[in-house]
Amino acid sequence: MNYLNKLGSNKRILYFFMMRQKIAIKNLFYSNAKNQHLFILSPPFCGSTLLNEIISSSDNVSCNNNIGLREGQHLPIVKDILFTKDRWDTKKKINWQLIHSIWNRYWDKSKGVFLEKSPPNICRAKKIENEFINARFICLVRNPYAQVEGKMRRYNTSAEEAAKLSIQYLKYQKENIEQLKNTLLISYEDLAENTNNIKKTIITFLPELSDINTKLKFKAHNLRAEKNMAITNLNPEKIAKIKKEDLLIINGVFEKEEKLLNYFNYQII
């Protein structure tokens, strides 16, 4: 459904309306009592869209947004609340009860797992946990050099700013891992290189995902701009694109937070 990314806003709104109406009719016959909420907590450019697609391959999963970046923050009404310039402000006041009620319109209650992923969720996961009782969280991280490269390339962000943001994202994730009740930490590298083991780990964490398929070709945006691509570790290609002068700047930031990088098993290059 990536073609919808190219449609005008009116057609996207129509698509979401039709999707919501279809689910509303189906949900009339189902109760919400046994559904499990699953949140992918991930910084930008860390493979969260890929992970979302993998998890959504299960017949037991309903993702609240199955097009584009697959983020609940982009849904109608919700985007005016969550997808704002201050979306990374940890003090931003959000009516999570309202967000919950809107997302409920897009989750298929015949499925056992309700899936959501929006990057800014990582800085307010505790509030999400308070609203979504018994929620589970998969915390995804990626080699910060590869993450920084994506930020620099896609948004023309300076090396220093991108590096500082990467450190802030890791701090959010560390806090999430240490404070949330039900979390699973996985890395992009393990997902790409030890796929079978990570698949087993995810299923152990949430048995309802026993039928996820990692053998498919996925549509998640990637460095090579390939529309359909098997799970591949693109870190070496991304890191190789970082200029030497930028690498010096990035290291200047990372060296001050080496302990944090080591917490996630990453080292200074």
CA distance 265 to 52: 23
Percent of the chain residues past pLDDT 90, beyond the cut? 79
| pLDDT of 269 higher than 70 | yes
CA distance 209 to 61: 8
CA distance 214 to 196: 8
pLDDT tens sequence across 136-166 = 999 999 999 999 999 999 999 999 999 999 9
CA distance 37 to 116: 8
Q: Environment class of residue 90 by beta-carbon count within 10 Å: exposed (0-12), middle (13-18) or buried (19+)?
A: exposed
| φ, ψ of residue 43 in degrees (nearest 5) | -65, 165
Q: In the block, which residue shows the tokens 């999570």?
A: 96
Among 172, 169, 168, CA closest to 126: 172
Identify whether the C-beta of residue 76 lies closer than 8 Å to the C-beta of residue 82: no
CA distance 224 to 64: 27
Residue 262, pLDDT score: 98
Helix (H) or strand (E) holding 127: helix 125-131
Percent of the chain residues past pLDDT 70, beyond the cut? 89
CA distance 121 to 132: 13
Token duo for residue 43: 């910084």
Domains of the chain, each with CATH number or no CATH: 2-263 (3.40.50.300)
Q: How confident is the model at residue 219 (pLDDT cuts 50, 70, 90)?
A: confident
Token duo for residue 147: 């993450």
pLDDT tens sequence across 235-255 = 999 999 999 999 999 999 999
Q: What is the pTM of this model?
A: 0.89
CA distance 163 to 252: 9
Return left, alpha or beta for 217; rule: phi > 0 is left, psi -120 to 50 is alpha, else beta.
Answer: beta
Nearest 5°: the CA angle 226, 232, 233 is 120
Q: In the block, which residue shows the tokens 């709104």?
A: 13
The residues, any chain, with a CB within 8 Å of residue 134's CB and separated by 6 or more, are: 36, 37, 182
Nearest 5°: the CA angle 132, 137, 139 is 145
pLDDT tens sequence across 43-64 = 999 999 999 999 999 999 999 9
Q: Using N-to-C axis directions, what is the helix angle for 159-179 and 144-155, rounded to 10°? A: 130
Identify whether the C-beta of residue 256 lies closer than 8 Å to the C-beta of residue 160: no
Strands 136-141 and 36-41: what pairing?
parallel
Among 185, 33, 193, 183, CA closest to 114: 33
Residue 3, pLDDT score: 36
